[in-house]
Amino acid sequence: MTTLTSSRGRRRAPTRIERAAGRAAALQRPRVILALLLLLALTCAMLLDGYLRAEVGGDQRVRSGADSSEVPDTILDGGPILTFRGGQATTVSVPAKTIALTFDDGPNPTWTPQVLEILRKYDVPGTFFLVGSMVTRYPGIVRTMVEQGNEVGVHTFTHVDLSYQSASRVDREMEQTQLALAGAAGITTTLFRAPYSSETDAIDNYSWPVYERLGKDGYTSVFVDTDSDDWKRPGVSDIVKWATPKGTQGASVLFHDAGGERSQTIAALPEYIEKMKAKGYTFTTISGVMAHRRTAGAGTTAGPSLQAAHHRATGPTLYEGKALIAAVAVAEWTVPTLSVGLAIVGAAVLARFGMMLLLARRHHRQRNRRRFGWGPAVTGPVSVIVPAYNEKECIANTLRSLARSTHPIEIIVVDDGSTDGTSRIARDAAGSLGMTNVRVIRQENAGKPAALNNGVRNASYGIVVMMDGDTVFEPDTVRELVQPFADPSVGAVAGNAKVGNRTTVIGAWQHIEYVMGFNLDRRMYDLLRCMPTIPGAIGAFRRDAVLAAGGMSEDTLAEDTDITIAMHRAGWRVVYQEHARAWTEAPGSLRQLWSQRYRWSYGTMQALWKHRGCLTDRGPSGRFGRVGMPLVVIFQVVTPLFAPLIDVFTVYSMIFVDFRAALLAWLAVLGVQLLCAAYAFRLDREKYRYLLMMPLQQLAYRQIMYLVLIHSCVTALTGGRLRWQKLKRTGEVGTPAGAG
Amino acid sequence: MGPVFVDTTGRRSKALRRLGLFLGAVCLAYAGVLAAAFMGWGTSLNPSSLLPFGASAEGGRAPGGMRPEGGIGRRAELPDTVRPTASPPASTTRSASASAGAN
């Protein structure tokens, strides 16, 4: 927001612009930073959520059938507990008649509590090898698990085959899990079991270095003697059979308390415990096995030695762990909430498109039926009010177009304190065109609403047409525009504004937007009788109705929306007349477009807020409050506020989830919009080639539009003052030859 | 009725600025926590703190307990045994053969 092109801004008061620019800069920089921080946090939450669900950084590869030539035979044939005390690999086996129950892949909110309950009931300890990501998601289960006297070990953070991962990834997997444990239960552990590992004789040349390295770090790797294979869901009897060691051998037994449907595990576990107890077996944890090793069965394996692998987490580890758990809780809550919100918004937008297509079609058919008429033709003269502030480039064109009007009119040019001789140019133009029906009224610069009010007061006829000083009418425009007044219930009519300068990219984008806005939105609003805005470029009003509403108000920056809502509330019908076309000059630069839209969206919100009372009113005002207000609020304020999230989610899914699916979804939405746009173009008999700009519009224009809206929302909240910023005109728009 | 939304006292914008500052700080802290947790910054999980079976267990260890035991002729390496890993173990039957078969 540095230099507005004020060197050429001859029609603007420089001091005001400078002040506005300064204010804008002061307001915007913190906003941009805050927006970026919010985006950062959202991205973090989404990445975290994706990481926890293995969408981000997930690795499905599992190695099998690799050679084990480099693994020492003692290990391959050794017991299931592998340590590296003093740098040397040693294995420990489970003593006879002893079972170390081990559970992998937990915690799981459904099955783990059931397993814990069974263990508690039989007073049997277990060793749980936990997946860190699940720990962060269900910390309460882990806390209970540890408090109940069970031992826990690390089963990596994301359940990846570590033999495929780099050393730093392995370290991260371990540390993240430790952090999760610290946060969940206030402990760290020295036990580890590698995902996809089983018996020691399955160690291969790729996984061996991982165990070696982790062992040197102090980890004890735990393997299995008997594998229940419960994940295959073979039935309770097979699970029990496969989990049972031969004779009186001791065993580290593998069950799974997560990773799938585990009802068979839950059913088999009590049976297994009872069976083994009946055979005289005792149950212990991995630490219990180690302690037994050391004490040589001195019988002191009770108490804390069952959890000897646990260490109390202290200091930064504990706090960081707790922070991680909290961060995960936030992400776990945020991402699904946003997803649901986006689904609702998406459904609403699609429903709106459907409704627009339906109602636009009905509107088009109804109004173009051969026998359709508003009543007896309106032929009496009307007043055309042209507010003009520094319109020297355009005013002559405007008057020339009005001179060809096929409807009797008087023209009131209200010069709002122009400094560029607009009045003189207007008078000269009227004189040279031989127009006798032009009156030029000068007033002190007081803003567009005041100029319009001045014009309305000076109007001689009961119907006033309002247009902008930079707008060009077709010869038939006024006649078409005033026909609906044959119906006495019609209080105001919106015309069809067309973008004249559509050769540039920005112009083409706005052209698409205008065609859609007029041919879909306004037709829909017309039939629903809740049109929120009569465009300032072309609209007609009953003079009495405007005066009864107190004229144009300066309360808001969108006096057109304000007066339209006021008309509705007064019980007047507001209709859209598609055949009354006005050619207007759209902003030619992004900056101009930005300030125009900023004013529009801010003004619309002001007008909605100003008329919030209609929500509780009765009668026509209440009707607008119940139908029009929600529609406008949802589709012009709430939906655009969600739009950046849609973009963030789309980009996220393209990068991290499924590029093809995300792209297809995006293309599908684009397709729906293209379809709607094409229909709107068809209704208006516009050339389809502008639709080629539409994909690009989705990538730039849309973002500008929602940024403007967010920006004006924040301005509304902060209570900052927003002033009129006049658009720079080039006066290039004229009635296209042969049009109308 | 004055212009809609305009706050002449400046109180609202001040409150909002504070809220924005707070929100920004929260967002930054959130990103910071996740980055630190992901990269393992600031945690004291260095290997030495993870010696298997801490000092308490070691202290309670009786010297007499350091003989291989348990089951079915299985050789069990002691945690701090002097025997190198490479030394061939007494050949044993694998206790897990049953489940190995099931696999």
SS3 assignment, position B82: coil
SS3 assignment, position A281: coil
Distance in angstroms (rounded) separating the CA atoms of residues A496 and A578: 5
Q: Is the predicted pLDDT of residue A296 greater than 60, yes or no?
A: no
Domains of chain A: 73-313 (3.20.20.370), 344-718 (3.90.550.10)
Question: pLDDT tens across A43-102, in order?
Answer: 899 888 888 887 666 677 888 778 888 888 888 888 899 988 777 888 888 999 999 999
CB A473 within 8 A of CB A467: yes
What residues have CB less than 8 Å from A660, skipping those under 6 apart?
Answer: none
Mean pLDDT, residues A368-374 taken together: 90
Which pLDDT value is given to residue B47?
A: 47
Distance in angstroms (rounded) separating the CA atoms of residues B85 and A75: 8
Which pLDDT value is given to residue A307?
A: 85
Q: Is A579 exposed, middle or buried (0-12, 13-18, 19+ CB in 10 A)?
A: middle
Q: Is the predicted pLDDT of residue B37 greater than 90, yes or no?
A: no
Mean pLDDT, residues B98-103 taken together: 38
Tokens linked to A396:
């002559």
Mean pLDDT, residues A525-551 taken together: 94
Active site (annotated) includes residue A511: no
The terminus-to-terminus CA distance of chain B in angstroms comes to 81
- Hey, what amino acid is at A350? L
Residues of B in contact with A284 (CB under 8 A): none
Q: Kindly determine whether residue B84 and residue A229, on different chains, have CB atoms separated by under 8 Å.
A: no
Q: What's the order of all strands across the beta sheet hosting A409-416?
A: A438-443, A409-416, A382-388, A463-467, A538-542, A490-499, A573-584, A472-473
Judge if the upstream peptide bond of residue B79 is cis by omega within 30 degrees of 0.
no
**Kind plus residue range of the DSSP H or E element containing A545:** helix A543-548
Q: Kindly determine whether residue B61 and residue A294, on different chains, have CB atoms separated by under 8 Å.
A: yes
Question: pLDDT tens across A694-708, in order?
Answer: 888 888 888 888 989
Backbone angles phi, psi at A2, to 5 degrees: -95, -80
Split at pLDDT 50, 70, 90, the class of A180 is very high
Q: Kindly determine whether residue B71 and residue A93, on different chains, have CB atoms separated by under 8 Å.
A: yes
Distance in angstroms (rounded) separating the CA atoms of residues A359 and B77: 82
Closest CA to A317 of B57, B25, B26, B49: B49
Predicted TM-score (pTM) of this structure: 0.77
CB A13 within 8 A of CB B3: no
Tokens linked to B5:
């939304």
Question: pLDDT tens across A408-455, in order?
Answer: 999 999 999 999 999 999 999 999 998 899 999 999 988 899 999 999
> Could you tell me if A327 lies within 8 Å of chain B, comparing CB atoms?
yes
Q: Of chain A residues 150-189, which have a CB less than 8 A from chain B?
A: 171-172, 174-176, 178-179, 188
Q: Kindly determine whether residue A719 and residue B13, on different chains, have CB atoms separated by under 8 Å.
A: yes
Tokens linked to B95:
């206790």
Split at pLDDT 50, 70, 90, the class of B44 is low
The terminus-to-terminus CA distance of chain A in angstroms comes to 41
ipTM confidence score: 0.78
Question: pLDDT tens across A628-666, in order?
Answer: 999 999 988 888 888 888 888 888 888 888 889 999 999
Which pLDDT value is given to residue A143?
A: 95
A81-83 and A463-467 strand pairing: unpaired
Which pLDDT value is given to residue B66?
A: 33
Q: Is the predicted pLDDT of residue A219 greater than 50, yes or no?
A: yes
Q: Which of A217, A219, A719 sits opposite B5 (nearest CB)?
A: A719
DSSP A184: H
Tokens linked to A305:
């030695």
Least confident span in A202-211, A645-654, A662-671, B6-15: B6-15
Distance in angstroms (rounded) separating the CA atoms of residues A460 and A399: 19
SS3 assignment, position A27: helix
Please give the mean pLDDT across all residues of chain A: 87
> Could you tell me if A237 lies within 8 Å of chain B, comparing CB atoms?
no
Residues of A in contact with B76 (CB under 8 A): 78-79, 91-93, 293
Burial of A422-449, coded b for 16+ CB within 10 Å and e otherwise, reads: bbebbbebbeeeeeebbbbbebeeebbb
Distance in angstroms (rounded) separating the CA atoms of residues A188 and A4: 60
Half-sphere exposure of A122 (CA within 13 A, CB side): 24
Q: Is the predicted pLDDT of residue A249 greater than 80, yes or no?
A: yes
Mean pLDDT, residues A587-610 taken together: 90
Split at pLDDT 50, 70, 90, the class of B77 is very low
- Hey, what amino acid is at A47? L
Q: Please give the radius of gyration of chain A, using alpha carbons only, rounded to the nearest integer.
A: 37
- Hey, what amino acid is at B78? L
Residues of B in contact with A31 (CB under 8 A): 20
Split at pLDDT 50, 70, 90, the class of A221 is very high
What residues have CB less than 8 Å from B58, skipping those under 6 apart?
Answer: none
Distance in angstroms (rounded) separating the CA atoms of residues A282 and A97: 6
What residues have CB less than 8 Å from A123, skipping those under 6 apart?
Answer: none
Closest CA to A208 of A103, A94, A65, A69: A69
Q: Is the predicted pLDDT of residue A244 greater than 80, yes or no?
A: yes
Active site (annotated) includes residue A568: no
Q: What is the largest CA-CA distance in chain B?
A: 97
Question: pLDDT tens across A384-415, in order?
Answer: 999 999 988 889 999 999 999 999 999 999 99
Which pLDDT value is given to residue A303?
A: 52
Tokens linked to A591:
């900056």
Higher pLDDT, B9 or A697: A697
Distance in angstroms (rounded) separating the CA atoms of residues B8 and B26: 29
Distance in angstroms (rounded) separating the CA atoms of residues B51 and A218: 5
Closest CA to A95 of A285, A344, A303: A285
Half-sphere exposure of A210 (CA within 13 A, CB side): 27
Q: Please give the radius of gyration of chain B, using alpha carbons only, rounded to the nearest integer.
A: 32
Higher pLDDT, A297 or A36: A36
Tokens linked to A46:
């989404």
Distance in angstroms (rounded) separating the CA atoms of residues B36 and A520: 51
Closest CA to A465 of A440, A450, A483: A483
Tokens linked to A136:
């962060």
CB A584 within 8 A of CB A394: no
Split at pLDDT 50, 70, 90, the class of A238 is very high
CB A201 within 8 A of CB A76: yes
Split at pLDDT 50, 70, 90, the class of A292 is confident
Which pLDDT value is given to residue A87?
A: 77
Q: Of chain B residues 54-93, which have a CB less than 8 A from chain A?
A: 54, 56-57, 60-62, 64-67, 69-72, 74-81, 84-89, 91-92
Tokens linked to A287:
């630490």
Distance in angstroms (rounded) separating the CA atoms of residues A401 and A404: 6
